[in-house]
């Protein structure tokens, strides 16, 4: 017997998934929903079963216990025509799972929109003590959405339990900058979070787990996480710069009067900050280099570049909140780029480890570069981009900023040779930290 669908809520210190009682040898009762209370120390005494869906979240639990609920379905009752092409379930861990970005992203993941309509997934959602009930609400909505590819949902507040066996870790959660907080303080606070998560991933995730860091400052947080996960491949760490790429494509399309799908070969260099470099030198509109279509070079350098870099702040001024839906879309775009072969002559942007990079960037940073994929979840850095004097100077500027950030969090990077914070200028993207 195999499980076709299950959803599990782990509250506090998580327990392993328990199966519902069998109604005959080798079979589970179809759509059997039970609520269990079990001692946190793993003892079996005091167990009770309640065969009522209404009891799953609201049933009282004795002191010293935790609730675990599960819905299990009989694989044998499903049509072989439906199940014969099902792949092995992919385990996707998401932090900040009760936040606004996740509120959009999780439903795209569960629907098959991201990894494919034939890829079942298990969502492992990390929240906090404060977001326990909100996280349960997220799980309830996922259940009610009847996604056939969603095999299981797990909830927890301990990263080591939530990251167990993960094939992907989408690290969205991070502390926002409070009033009067300097950037170096935020680097330290969030750096500690990502150092802990890196260690947890190193201990319990799949040995080929891939990580996408969204929580800002995402480049340096990814570097910290990577440094604290020495047993996981360094090339598997990504920092999200796809939102910046999408914004750049939008602005070029608007300026040229072309539809955004005509904008290709667009990349973002460097840091996800105001020093980022949207590369109009190599980007194309309708197959032609951007400067041949948008002939206003002054606009490209003095308006287009800062407009893309400051788009998040402009959105906050208009709407009073930071980007959530568009960030979720860009995460989905990033993941699809790794599981869909890159069209010839095109690329996608992602912050990756710079070791051995072909552009002379310091070889111990997470730095956004042009990449392509064969659709197997992996990538390669494209090595033939034209780097003119203007682009070279801008790339150097964002590299120097990332070097300063690395020095600032040197105390969180095992083996770092320098831990001195020399950051004096605030280039954090407004509202996105």
* Chosen domain end from 239, 261, 291: 239
**Each residue's pLDDT tens digit, 37-54:** 222 333 333 322 222 222
The pLDDT value recorded for residue 313 is 77
Q: Are residues 195 and 316 in the same domain?
A: no
Q: Are residues 188 and 247 in the same domain?
A: no
The pLDDT value recorded for residue 35 is 28
Task: Calculate mean pLDDT across residues 274-292.
Answer: 97
Buried b (16+ CB within 10 A) or exposed e, 69-100: bbbbbbeeeeeeeeeeebeebbbbbbbbbbbb
* Chosen domain end from 211, 239, 267: 239
Q: Are residues 258 and 391 in the same domain?
A: yes
Buried b (16+ CB within 10 A) or exposed e, 375-401: eebebebbeebebeeebeebbebbbeb
Q: Are residues 191 and 266 in the same domain?
A: no
What own/partner pairs with CB < 8 Å and gap ≥ 24 does 283-292 have? 283/248, 283/252, 284/345, 285/252, 285/253, 285/256, 285/258, 286/258, 286/262, 290/252
Could you tell me how many residues make up the chain?
Answer: 433
Q: Are residues 168 and 98 in the same domain?
A: yes
Q: Are residues 219 and 306 in the same domain?
A: no
Q: Are residues 152 and 287 in the same domain?
A: no
Task: Calculate mean pLDDT across residues 372-386.
Answer: 98
- 69 assigned to some structural domain: no
In the structure, what pLDDT confidence band is assigned to residue 427 with cuts at 50, 70 and 90?
Answer: low
In the structure, what pLDDT confidence band is assigned to residue 337 with cuts at 50, 70 and 90?
Answer: very high
Write the CATH number for 102: 3.40.50.720
Q: Into how many domains does the chain fold?
A: 2
Domain span holding position 190: 87-239
Regarding predicted confidence, which is higher, 39 or 82?
A: 82
**Each residue's pLDDT tens digit, 218-239:** 999 999 999 999 999 999 999 9
Write the CATH number for 395: 3.90.110.10
What own/partner pairs with CB < 8 Å and gap ≥ 24 does 415-419 have? 415/227, 416/227
List the single range of 37-41, 158-162, 178-182, 266-270 with lowest mean pLDDT: 37-41
Q: Are residues 130 and 230 in the same domain?
A: yes
- Return the percentage of the chain with pLDDT > 70, whole number: 79
The pLDDT value recorded for residue 19 is 30
- State the pTM of this model: 0.84
User: Which residues are marked as active site?
Assistant: 272
**Each residue's pLDDT tens digit, 248-264:** 999 999 999 999 999 99
């Amino acid at each position: 017997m195999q499980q076709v669908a299950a959803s599990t809520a782990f509250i506090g210190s998580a327990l392993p998934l328990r199966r519902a009682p069998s109604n005959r040898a080798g079979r589970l009762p179809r759509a059997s929903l039970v609520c269990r209370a079990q001692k946190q120390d793993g003892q079996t005494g005091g167990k009770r079963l309640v065969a009522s869906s209404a009891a799953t979240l609201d049933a009282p639990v004795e002191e010293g216990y935790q609730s675990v609920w599960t819905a299990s379905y009989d694989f044998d009752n499903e049509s072989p025509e439906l199940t014969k092409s099902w792949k092995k379930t992919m385990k996707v861990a998401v932090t900040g799972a009760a936040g606004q970005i996740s509120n959009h992203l999780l439903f795209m993941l569960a629907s098959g929109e991201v990894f494919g309509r034939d890829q079942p997934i298990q969502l492992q959602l990390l929240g906090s003590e404060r977001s326990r009930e909100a996280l349960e609400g997220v799980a309830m909505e996922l259940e009610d959405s009847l996604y056939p590819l969603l095999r299981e949902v797990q909830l927890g507040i301990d990263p080591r339990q939530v990251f167990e066996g993960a094939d992907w870790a989408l690290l969205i959660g991070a502390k926002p900058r409070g009033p009067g907080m300097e950037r170096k303080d935020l680097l330290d606070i969030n750096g500690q979070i990502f150092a802990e998560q890196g260690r947890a991933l190193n201990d319990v995730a799949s040995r080929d787990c891939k990580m996408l860091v969204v929580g800002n400052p995402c480049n340096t947080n990814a570097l910290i996480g990577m440094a604290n996960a020495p047993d996981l491949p360094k090339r598997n760490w990504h920092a999200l710069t796809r939102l910046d790429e999408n914004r750049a494509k939008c602005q070029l399309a608007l300026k040229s009067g072309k539809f955004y799908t005509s904008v290709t070969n667009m990349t973002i260099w460097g840091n996800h900050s105001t020093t980022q470099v949207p590369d109009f030198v190599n980007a194309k509109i309708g197959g032609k280099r951007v400067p041949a279509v948008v002939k206003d070079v002054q606009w490209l350098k003095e308006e287009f570049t800062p407009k893309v870099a400051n788009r998040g702040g402009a959105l906050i001024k208009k709407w009073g909140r930071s980007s959530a839906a568009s960030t979720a879309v860009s995460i989905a775009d990033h993941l699809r780029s790794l599981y869909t072969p890159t069209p010839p002559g095109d690329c996608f942007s992602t912050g990756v480890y710079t070791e051995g990079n072909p552009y002379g960037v310091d070889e111990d940073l997470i730095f956004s570069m042009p990449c392509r994929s064969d659709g197997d979840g992996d990538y390669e850095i494209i090595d033939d981009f034209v780097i003119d004097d203007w682009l070279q100077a801008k790339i150097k500027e964002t590299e120097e900023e990332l070097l300063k950030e690395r020095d600032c969090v040197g105390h969180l990077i095992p083996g770092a040779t320098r831990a001195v914070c020399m950051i004096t200028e605030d280039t954090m993207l407004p509202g996105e930290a």
